[in-house]
Structure 1
Amino acid sequence: MELDGKVAVVTGGTRGVGAGIARSLARAGAQVVICARRAPEVPVDKTEFMPLDVRDAGAVRRFFDALPQVDVLVNNAGGAPYRLLADADAERHARVVQLNLLAPLTVSLAAYEHLKRTRGAVVMIGSVSGSRPSPGTAAYGAAKAGLENLARSMAVEWAPEVRVNTLVVGMVRTELSHLHYGDEDGIDAVSRTVPLGRLAEPADIGAAAVFLASEAAAYISGASLLVHGGGERPAFLDAATADADPNMEE
């Protein structure tokens, strides 16, 4: 097993992508601690849950002070509702940035001494929203762009003891997919825009996290690994070929 004897902490690991990552780490042999504000409605197999609000710096420090060992930290907690910029005040958008950028910084700093001692690894969960326009989730996209840059700087400052990388995640099918993509027909339509023809499963993200946390990635730090099924088909291609004659020869 790639992670036998390792202790992994996954923030926001109670459902969706976070739960998928936690399960994958556990299957790889790690002792997994998941933390979130509320306990999971469905227990995540082979993991231990501890309550934590990652936006509370004091609570985060106390959480890591109480742990005897940390080898892997996955900064997964995050997210944002759909909200156009002009439909909310700056303070509301700032809370999105706090959760998706400042909280991972807070958590990483609190875990640093553990990770330095064990020559551990940090895995940031980024998003394709950080590298393209994100109308309706602009603050989230900006935070994810900052998170990727933070990881690259952290990788340089904390080397050689701690490796830091980012998983740049695309669309994932979770128990909340209907809130973003609609019913099964909507999910199927969205899936057809992905070159690999489907949305990611949480286990796909988990497998990539295991890789970055393991010795198989011992010489990888400061990297951004795209886990998005090939990305998104450029809209201009569909627009340019919409009226083309399918029988036309080159």
Structure 2
Amino acid sequence: MLMPFAMAIVYWGGRPYSAAIAFVLIILIFEWARIVDRAEFSRGFYTLSVTAIAMVYFAAGGSYLTATGIALGGGALATLLELRGKPFVSWPFVGAVYLLLPAIAALYIRHDPEEGRALTLLLFFVVWATDSGAYLAGTFIGGPKLCPALSPRKTWTGAIGGVLCGGAVAVALGILTALPFGPLALLALGIALSISTIIGDLGESALKRAYGVKDTGGAFPGHGGVLDRLDGFIVAALTLAFIMVLRQS
């Protein structure tokens, strides 16, 4: 139900896209603070939230190094504020790296009016295709478990199905949007983003297992919180931004 809205925001870009990133970040910071320290509405939460807004402002204007400095500095400040009267904690700084840096990556990817739009659409669709392909292959084919210690339901068959779907979607969408990549490059890009999506999913599963929670929140009844929906996107966005930096260097 949210897919058409998300696609409209991505297509529009500009201020609506930046505002959507900032809004989602506040929710993610809230869920993160609640999971790791039951610290929603804490000094750390408020500091990271203000940091996120300032960071998005500079990243949306193309000042990515400044935005990165703000994200890391805000995480360090939030950590110091959380130390008052408590034993050592690091969750605000870890949260800044885990949540804020991928948001900078998402803004960096979308910055170019034409190619950025196509790449961001490709990113979203590859992540969705990977999740859907993994679910369908894992459900209907089954097979040995991928990493039972972290996620007992995920299978190798599901992971392979997800990667194949992600690669196919990247090739199809890249050709349709006339991205300046050949089919093999698009396939490689799709596979890289699909693997990143699976890694992000497993990483979030490890986080929830470590803190003994089933879902990060209740934003989507039956499907968990916003972080549950964006765990793969977080790592995939960093991967795509890194590839773009290498391409331009």
Provide the TM-score with structure 1 as the length reference.
Answer: 0.32
Where relative contact order (Cα < 8 A, 6+ residues apart) is larger, the structure is 1
Q: Hey, which of these two has a bigger chunk of strand by percent?
A: 1
Q: Hey, which of these two has a bigger chunk of helix by percent?
A: 2
Provide the TM-score with structure 2 as the length reference.
Answer: 0.32
- Name the larger-Rg structure: 1
